[in-house]
Amino acid sequence: MRGSLRHRWFTPYAFIAPAMLVLGVFFLWAMVQVVWFSFTRYTPFQPPTFIGLANYQQLLSSERFWSCMLNSAVYLLVTPALIFLSLSAAMIVESGIRAGKWLRLLLFLPVVTPTIVAAVGWRLVLNPDQGLVNTVLTGVGLPRIAWLTDYPWTLISAMLVTLWKGFGFYMMVFLAGLLAVPRELREAAAIDGAGRWGVFRLVVLPSIWPVITLVFIISSISALKVFDELFVTVKGVPIEHQTAVPLIYEEAFGRGNFGLASAMGITLFVIILAFSLVNLRISRANQANQGAA
Amino acid sequence: MRAFDRLTQPAIAAVLALLATLGGVAACSRSDGPTQGSGSASRVELQFWTLALAPFEDYIRERIAAFEAENPGVKVVWSDVPYEAIDRKLMAAAAAGRAPDLVNMADRTFARFVAMDAMVDLKPLLPGDVSATYLSGALRLPSLGDRLLGLPWYLTTQTVLLNEPVLTAGGLTRQSLGRDWKSLQRQALDFHQRTGNYLFSIPLGFEADLPFMMLADGVVPFTEDRSGPQPRLRANLLDPAVIAFLEGWVATFRSGAMPAEAVTGGNSHQPQLYKERRLALINTGPNFLKQIQRDSPTVFQGTQVEPAITGSLNRAHIAVMVLSVTNQSRNPELAARLAWFMTSAQSQLLLCRRAVVLPSVTAALDDPLFAFPSAEPLSDPAAEAERRIQYARALSARALRDAVAFTPSLEAWPDLRRAFEDGFKRVLLDGRDLRVTLQDIQTTWDGILALVPGTMDAVPRPAAVPARQPPPSGQPSTQRSTPASTTGQGSPA
C-alpha cells in the first residue's frame, strides 16, 4: 500500500495542493482580478465596465501620479542607508564585544514593534512644538523643522521610521552572512598581511555579496511599497508629497475609484519587477567579476 | 510512456490546481441568495452599521429589541464601526457585495457615497410625511433633487468650549476676547507669542471647514451660468469676497498663530490639543464636552461653554448624522422602516438623554431635556458638571432653530471639496500663491461640474437671521454674533 502510494505520480502534487490552493485564491486570482479591474471603470457600488486603456492613459498623464512616483524613487535612498547601518551593526555584534547579545536584542527590538506604534512614537519625537528633535535643534541654536508637515521633511520623517524599524532585521540577515564566512579565510588573509580593511574588502565583502544583493532587493521593494509609515507619521499632508502606495490607497478607498487604483497598482508592480530584475542582473555580474578576479 | 508522463503530469497538476482555485474562488464569492437568517426559513436578517456608537451599546441593543418586537421575523445584526474606518469598511463590503442594509454616516462620508450612487431613494419606502417630521435644516443634506437618500438622525451644532486658565495665561479674558473670527485672528499671534499655546484652531487642510464657513458667512464660491439652455453651476473662487475670506486664514496660519495640525490633523486635532491645554478655545460640537470631562477632568473644570462663533448669517452649521439604505440591500423596505424607527422622536430622545447630541425631529425638540438649566452654579461638583453639560445641550438646541447643514447637496461635492483641500494645503504648506492656486482649483471645479452638473438650488444660501439674545446662563457670557462656523465630527462618543 505504502509502496504504491509512493509511486503514484500525483503524490507530490497532492502534498503541495493546499498551498497551491491558498496561493491560487489569494494571490494568483487576486492578481488576475486586479489586471482586469485596471481596464474597467469600477466603483464599489457599481459593477466594473470595460473602458480599455483609459485608466492607464489617465495615470500616465497625471502629474500627481508622477510626483508620487518620484517620491517613491527618492524613498529608495533609505536602502543604502539601511545596508550601511545594518551591516555596521552586524559587524559590531559579530566582533565579539562584551554585551554583544544584549546589543543584538536591543537593536532587534524595533523590528518587533508594530509599525503603527513606531510611527506614533516618532510623531511625538518629531512634533514641531514639543518634540525631542526640535528641542535639541533649538537648543543648539538651529531653527525648528516642520517634520510632519513641510515637504521634503515629511518624506525624511517617514524614511527615519522605516530606517529605525527595519535595520534590526537586516542586521540579523547580515549577521548570519558574516558568521558563515570561514574563519580560516580571514586568518589566512591576516597572515598574508592584509589589515582589517583588507580582510573586509578582499574576504568578507565578496563572501557576503549575495546577502548584500538579497538585502538590497528586499529593502528596495519594501521602500517602493511603503505605506504604514507615511499613513501614520505624516497623515494629512498633500498626496503629492507622499509615495505611490498611499496614492493608490487614496484613489481606491478615498475616491472609490478601484479601476484607476488597480491600473496604478499594476504599473507599480511592473516598475518594481523591472527594478528587481535589473538589480539582480547587475549584482550577478558584479559577483561574477569578483569571482573571476 | 515515461516521456509522456513527464510532459502531462505537470499539465494535469496545473489544471487540477486551477480547478481547485476556481472552486475556492467560487466558494468565497458573493452569494446572490436571499438574506434569510440561518435559524428560521421566514426570518429576515438586516445588517445595521452605526458610527462610533459602541459606548451606547445598551441603547442600541434596547432599540433593536424594540424594533424586532414590532416586526416579528426580523433580526437586526448590529455592527459599530470606528469613525475613521467607515469609508474603507463600507467600500470593501460593497466591493464584496456585502454592504449593510442600513448604514449610519456623517455628512462627509454620506456625500462621498451619494456620488457613488450607493443609496436607495427612501421617499417611496417611508410610512410617514418626512417634511413634517424632520427639521428642514437637517433634511436638506440627504435631499438631492426629488430623491431622499437618507434620514437625518442625531445632530450637533457648535458651541465654544473655552479653557479659561489658558486664555488668562495668554493675557486675554472672556470680556476682551474677540467675538468673531476676524477679531480672533488679530489676537491670535500675540497670544501665541506670549505663551506658546494657540488661541484657536480649525481644520484648514484635511477635512477643511472653510467651504462651510464661507457659506455660513454668506460668501458663495459658486455662480450660475445661464448662457446655455439649462442653467449650469460653475466655480466662482476668484470672487473678491472668496479671496478676501481665504487670505485672512492664510495670513493667520503663515504667521505661526495656528498649529501645523490645522492643515493635516482634521477635526480630531482640536479636542486633542484642547485636552493638552495647547488651545484656548474650540468651536465644536458640545458632544466633545463629555469626552473632555472623561479624559481631562482638570481641563473640564476650567472649561466654560459659550455660544458658537457663527458666520455673518448668524446661522450655525449642523453636523448631520444620516441613516441610509444601501442599494445592495435585499430588504430596502424593512431597512427604511428601521431607519424610520431609529430616527423617531422616542428613539432620538432616548439617545439624547445619554449623549450631548440633538434630535432631528421637530417633535423631540420641545422636550424639557433641551431647556436651559438654573443659572446658579451648584456646589456639588458632579451636579455642577451635569449642569454645565445641560447648559451646552440647551445652547446647542437653541442654535438649532436657525442652523443649516451648509454641506452643498451636490453629487460632485466630495470631489470639489477634495480639490479645494489639496490645493489649499499646498498654499499653506508649500507657500504657493493663493490666487494662482484658486485659479487652478477653479479650473478643476469647472471640469468636475461639467461632468457631474449641479444647480444653485443645491448650494445652501439661507438669509441672515438676527443674532439671538444671550442665553440665561450661570456664566457672565458674551454673545457671539458674527462671522463663520466650524464643524464638529458629530459623533456623540
pLDDT tens readout for residues B76-112: 999 999 988 898 899 989 988 899 999 999 988 898 8
8 Å CB contact of A236 and B118: no
Worst-scoring range by mean pLDDT, A226-240, B70-84, B105-119, B469-483?
B469-483
Question: Is the pLDDT at B31 greater than 90, yes or no?
Answer: no
Q: Are residues A48 and A141 in the same domain?
A: no
- B479 located within any domain: no
Claim to verify: residue A161 and residue A239 sit in the same structural domain: yes
Task: Kindly provide the ipTM of the predicted complex, given to two decimals.
Answer: 0.71
Contact residues on chain A for B94, CB-CB shorter than 8 A: 44-45
Q: What is the pLDDT of residues A178-236, one digit of tens each?
A: 999 998 998 899 898 888 889 998 899 989 988 998 999 999 999 999 999 999 888 88
pLDDT in tens, B151-170: 999 998 888 999 999 999 99
What's the CATH code of the domain at B239? 3.40.190.10
Residues A174, A42: one domain?
no
**B164 plus B213 within the same structural domain:** yes
**What domain range is A52 assigned to?**
2-56
Q: Is the pLDDT of residue B20 over 80?
A: no
A1 contacts A12 by C-beta, under 8 angstroms: no
Instruction: Write out the three cell numbers for A181.
Output: 564566512
Q: Is A236 close to B263, i.e. CB distance below 8 A? A: yes
A230 touches chain B (CB under 8 A): no
Of A9, A17, A151, the CB nearest to B20: A17
CA distance B3 to chain A (A): 13
Residue B120, pLDDT above cutoff 70: yes
Q: Are residues B67 and B113 in the same domain?
A: yes
Query: Is the same domain home to B247 and B173?
Result: yes
The count of structural domains within chain A is: 2
> Using CB atoms and an 8 Å cut-off, which of residues 22-61 of chain A contact chain B?
24-25, 28-29, 43-46
The pLDDT mean for chain B works out to 85
In this predicted structure, what is the pLDDT of residue B334? 96
Between B139 and B482, name the one with better pLDDT. B139
Same-domain check for residues A177 and A193: yes
Predicted local confidence at residue A25, as pLDDT: 87
Which tens digits make up the pLDDT trace of A115-174? 889 988 999 999 887 889 999 999 999 988 989 888 899 999 999 999 999 989 999 999
Could you tell me if B391 and B260 lie in one domain? yes
Helical (H) or strand (E) element with B418: helix B413-430
Helix or strand (DSSP H, E) at B396 = helix B381-400
Which residues in chain A touch residue B13, judged by CB atoms under 8 angstroms apart? 10, 13
Number of domains into which chain B is organized: 2
Mean pLDDT of B164-177: 93
CB contact under 8 Å between A44 and B87, yes or no, is no
Taking the Cβ of residue A120 and every Cβ of chain B, the question of whether any pair is shorter than 8 Å is answered with no
**Contact in structure between B366 and B135 (CB atoms under 8 Å):** no
Give residue B361's domain range: 44-156+319-365
Distances in whole angstroms, Cα of residue B148 to Cα of each of A117, A199, B130, B327, B401:
43, 77, 9, 13, 22
Residue A292: the pLDDT is: 62
* pLDDT, tens digit (0-9, with 9 covering 90-100), for B297-339: 999 989 988 888 888 898 888 889 999 999 999 999 999 999 9
Mutate to test the interface with B, among A149, A233, A235 (most CBs of B within 10 A): A149
- Tell me the average pLDDT across A237-258: 90
Q: Does residue B488 lie within any of the structural domains?
A: no
Residue B14 pLDDT: 57
Query: Average model confidence (pLDDT) for chain A?
Result: 89
Interface contact flag, B87 A253, Cβ < 8 Å: yes
Q: How far apart are CA B173 and CA B51, in angstroms?
A: 38
Q: Does B99 touch chain A (CB under 8 A)?
A: yes
